[in-house]
Structure 1
Amino acid sequence: MSFAKIIPQFKRLCLQPNLGTALRQVSTNNSLFFKATPCLMAEPMKKKKRLDPAVIRAREERKKKKIEKQIRRLEKHARQLKPLSECEVPLVLLDEKLERQRNIVHTPETLEKRALLEKKWANYKRIQLLNDLQMIDRVQFYQQRALDELKKESEELYQEAIQPDYHMIPFTTVGPVETPAIEDYDVPDGEYQDVSKKWK
């Protein structure tokens, strides 16, 4: 049966009054009767190949070694600090290092005098540290003794005494700044050019 014979029969059926509303709403335009869906290129699932467990283990070991190598490389580069141009010594000064060095020869008496001064200073600082430690121990001992006496007198007062003082904890202070403010200073509106280096 050809399409030429099918189309008139289908039109006749669509125009009959006793058919459902679905057929009445069908367009009579010949181009809308037949629609082709897009071709879906499907293929059967590939059969999974069974691999040797030793091969799988070797692959996993290779992946693990590769990741460990990347971690080592990152840790190595993480230790490198960004260079500060302000702290680097100019190459001109490095070239002139020998010219700038002063050749001072100290006499044995001067060297001995300096060594004695260093020993005296070290001895002085040692005595100062011992005095500070003794004072701290003395203060802590008397503080504990006072708390023990207070505990014997009243448990409530002792509990109050060992509580932290919350009025002293959020301690803030405002001191002098590096450069004091200049009174009646008119700040000029100038252009600022950022010359700092950008690091990625």
Structure 2
Amino acid sequence: MASVVFRWIGRISSCHSALSGIVSSQNCGGLSSRITAVMTIKTSAALSAEPKKKKKVDPRRELMVRDRMKKKLKKLEKVPAEFIPIEDFITPTKCLDETRVRSAPRLEFDESEGRALLLKEWGRYKHEQHLAEMQAIQLALEAQKEALDELKAESEELYLAALKPDPLLFPFSNEGPSYTPPKTKYEAPDGKYNDITKVYTQ
């Protein structure tokens, strides 16, 4: 096929050169219009592919596909949703064993000594804090007793009023027991029962 194309190209070029010589010698207007048509001939590469055939689309097929999809969706809607198990919430069986014992990490000598000193220092601090609180309470009680003694020497009525509880400070009220006191000579019944004690006579 390629050899045939090359032959045609050679012939066209030879014709073109011959015609151009004729035109230049005769200078005829009628031949120039014919020669221009020959000069505009162009060649292109041969295409060996065939045009693709268009597939016929059946409209009924699309309807059948839609019906199938609708049926599948209905079946999926009827099936209950399955929850995906979360592995983080499932306790492994080896962790459910209560007999396992976690061994304490072995500390170095410097670390253990530092922790012991820190524990002693913390105990010393809490002891001093407790002594300071007890001393403050003792001083407050002594100051209260001294003030009451001075108030008693000044006025007995004010002293008795100061000893009464303050209802605004402690809003507490009690009406007493809601039941009557027990009777001293009351004998509680034993309840209903059948006496099956056997009596033996001589």
TM exceeding 0.5: no
Which TM-score applies when normalising by structure 2?
A: 0.36
Bigger relative contact order, structure 1 or 2 (CA pairs below 8 A, ≥6 apart): 2
Q: TM-score, normalised by structure 1?
A: 0.36
